[in-house]
Structure 1
Amino acid sequence: MNKNYYAVLMAGGVGSRFWPVSTSSNPKQFHDMLGTGKTLIQKTFDRLNKFIPTENILILTNERYNDLVLEQLPKVKQDQVVLEPAMRNTAPCILYASLKIQKMNPNAVMIVAPSDHWIEDETAFEKDVITCFDKCEKENALCTLGIKPTFPNTGFGYIEFEKESDENLKKVSQFREKPDYETAKEFLAQGNFLWNAGIFMWSVETIVEAFKKYQPSQYELFGKGISSYNTEDERAFIQENYAKAENISIDYAILEQSKSIYTLPATFDWNDLGTWGALYDKLDKDEEENAVVNAKVLLENAKGNMIRSPKGKIVVVDGLEDYIIVDKEEVLLIYPKDKQQDIKKVLNQVKDKFGDQFA
């Protein structure tokens, strides 16, 4: 395996649209959402570990998930778990992890990847990442994997690339915010737009230089800690300084400003598993289009439902169509699939009425 290859797994999110399974104390990346026998973070770690040395994979997460990470990823040592003491979006934690890696290996190239995505063809994923790594080793490029859109999705940001790009890797002209439906249809019609999957590759040298140039105050804040990184003094420095960082995403902080960004249209199937409906799309269905995880079911006049329960629980459904039915200890959710984007709102109502322990 190439000793210069590194990965940063982003595992700090709460995944509130997967409530009640995903809660702030045990988010979706630590659950076996697909019923495969492995949690999403375990699947992501294994996928990267095929071509990135075990010790070169860092897990970026919130302090409260430290024990979950170590429990679910037994190959990972404590010093590979990079803990955020405060929620400050993606730019500060990526800079922090990049400076740690640069200190370990100035020649490193790295991938930043979410820990909760579904990717079936792992060989194609590896090939795409290495294509980007090769470019990043040769030049000061920031690379991203773009997903060919299959429908006008309004829930993703888009990457617009230059139409003249003959190469596999296409020059990015701009990143576009989540569009409305009509705009999304225009993007698809134009043909030079990809979904932004939030999977990035660059050399540590290039990303650190980009922070120096475009986010000098962020760089100055984290740069002061370089002597402490990867030593026993690191924790104290981060505890004292992390919360001072500006709350900003890597997209706004760096990618929208940089002139040397390339995108590779991914050759693998991808799903961000952002909602119960996205999970439903990926699961096998019965002849009535019901998707079932863990439950033993008796179904009558039931069509198009997403049903999940604790393992082996018997669930009887009669007369429901296109519903999300999720049973978890103290919470039972029975909710129309077409209102799945409102689950975040429902979660807040449950918190207000019954308390934070269910959220």
Structure 2
Amino acid sequence: MTDAAWALVLAGGEGRRLRRLTRRITGDDRPKQFCRVLDRDTLLEQTLRRSALLVPRECTLAVVVDAHEQFYAPLLSGFPAIGLAIQPENRGTAPAVLYGLLRVMAAAPESPVVIFPSDHYVSNDAAFMAHVETATEAVVARPDLVILLGVMPDSTDVEDGWVEPGERIAGPWRSQLHRARHCWEKPSPRLAVSLRARGCLWDSFVMVAYPSALLTMIRHAVPSLVEAFQPIRASLLTPWEASSLRRVYARLPSIDFAQRVVGRCPANLAILCLDGVGWRDLGAPENVIAALARSGAIPVWAEDRESRVVRGAAAQV
């Protein structure tokens, strides 16, 4: 690679669909990314460990929400101040992505960025990050593209977004790269069956691009959001950033990136298929059960005080 990549880790969600399980795990209402859902590390710690295979800590930015400080602070204690993008409120994934991008652009305007949600199961971190590295190399060669990692589905999950690969983009990359032909966010069960049959992929929400390309994509889809963030840009990485951010977020509606931006299937969106790696979005209990079944792991919350497996613990969630 000719450009050092940055990692943008999204860790500001509330995890409401998984709240019943996370309450069982922790005894409180902390969001899932701060819970030990799959093993002895939290989902956020797993995401950071995975991203560190390609991106050093000093080039990693975690986007969090101020109200979650008691949960994220112990996990991110080694982060420099520049590596924490603290939102005053949760306003959905589109503002989180945009704020993180602007922070990266202020610190390293010439670097590509990899967006990592912090609520995923990945069966093989090294293989997964090899695909991310391929996508990064492709973006360096084609800086106009935003590359989304697509996942070969093993079910007709209607909670995930779906994408249809179109024409192939020629290049020396190790994996096939395609234009995105169509995008669907949370299709009906009937449509999901049809999408799987015609070779469509799950949208992993893991994206690689130069910030400028992502910013252009957001501006075309939600111009009002980019306009709302204009007052923040002059205060980024200064003592006035937090107060400027509070004023902007006080007026922001909640905006979902997958629905409002990716769902429009922008012309510069490309798909790289994630081959040979198991993946799950852990947004719902059934996805956690599927991930545990694939990994064979016994999480701490599925053991009793004597460390014996509580049979059927996952099925009771």
Find the residue that maps to 1:83 and give its secondary structure: strand
Q: Which residue does 1:50 correspond to in 2?
A: 53
Q: Aligned partners of 2:144, 2:243: CA distance in 1, in Å? A: 33
Q: Which residue does 2:233 correspond to in 1?
A: 226
Q: Which residue does 1:147 correspond to in 2?
A: 151
**Residue identity in the other structure for 1:122:** D
Q: Which residue does 2:77 correspond to in 1?
A: 74
Q: Aligned partners of 2:305, 2:236: CA distance in 1, in Å? A: 43
Could you tell me whether the CA contact under 8 Å between 1:215 and 1:253 is conserved in 2? yes
Q: 1:263 aligns with which of 271, 291, 316?
A: 271
Q: Which residue does 1:40 correspond to in 2?
A: 43
Could you tell me whether the CA contact under 8 Å between 1:218 and 1:246 is conserved in 2? no
Pick closer, same or farther for the CA change 1:65–1:242 going to 2, 3 Å: same
Q: Aligned partners of 2:99, 2:105: CA distance in 1, in Å? A: 10
Pick closer, same or farther for the CA change 1:28–1:136 going to 2, 3 Å: same
User: 5+ residue gaps in structure 2?
Assistant: none
User: 5+ residue gaps in structure 1?
Assistant: 296-307, 327-359
- Please report the RMSD computed on the Cα atoms of aligned residues, expressed in angstroms: 2.7
TM-score (norm 1): 0.76
Deviates more, 1:227-236 or 1:71-80: 71-80
**Residue identity in the other structure for 1:18:** L
Q: Aligned partners of 1:213, 1:18: CA distance in 2, in Å? A: 32
Q: Aligned partners of 2:249, 2:21: CA distance in 1, in Å? A: 30
Higher relative contact order (CA 8 A, sep 6+): 2
CA offsets per residue over residues 30-87 of structure 1, 9 Å max, x none?
11112x3211110110110121121211111211122422311333134422122222
TM-score (norm 2): 0.86
Q: Which residue does 2:300 correspond to in 1?
A: 294
Find the residue that maps to 1:239 and give its secondary structure: helix
Displacement of 1:110 in angstroms is 0.6
Q: What count of residue pairs does the alignment treat as equivalent?
A: 305
Q: Give the number of the structure whose alpha-carbon radius of gyration is greater.
A: 1
Q: How does 1:206-245 map to 2 (within 5 A)?
A: 206-245=213-252
Pick closer, same or farther for the CA change 1:123–1:234 going to 2, 3 Å: same
Could you tell me whether the CA contact under 8 Å between 1:148 and 1:265 is conserved in 2? yes
Q: Aligned partners of 2:191, 2:299: CA distance in 1, in Å? A: 35
Displacement of 1:229 in angstroms is 0.2
**Residue identity in the other structure for 1:50:** L
Q: Which residue does 1:205 correspond to in 2?
A: 212
Pick closer, same or farther for the CA change 1:316–1:173 going to 2, 3 Å: closer
Pick closer, same or farther for the CA change 1:67–1:151 going to 2, 3 Å: same
Pick closer, same or farther for the CA change 1:124–1:323 going to 2, 3 Å: closer
Could you tell me whether the CA contact under 8 Å between 1:2 and 1:51 is conserved in 2? no
Find the residue that maps to 1:159 and give its secondary structure: strand
Q: Aligned partners of 1:211, 1:37: CA distance in 2, in Å? A: 36
Displacement of 1:158 in angstroms is 0.7
Q: Which residue does 1:325 correspond to in 2?
A: 316
**Identical counterparts, % of pairs:** 23
Displacement of 1:316 in angstroms is 7.2
Pick closer, same or farther for the CA change 1:28–1:266 going to 2, 3 Å: same
Find the residue that maps to 1:225 and give its secondary structure: helix
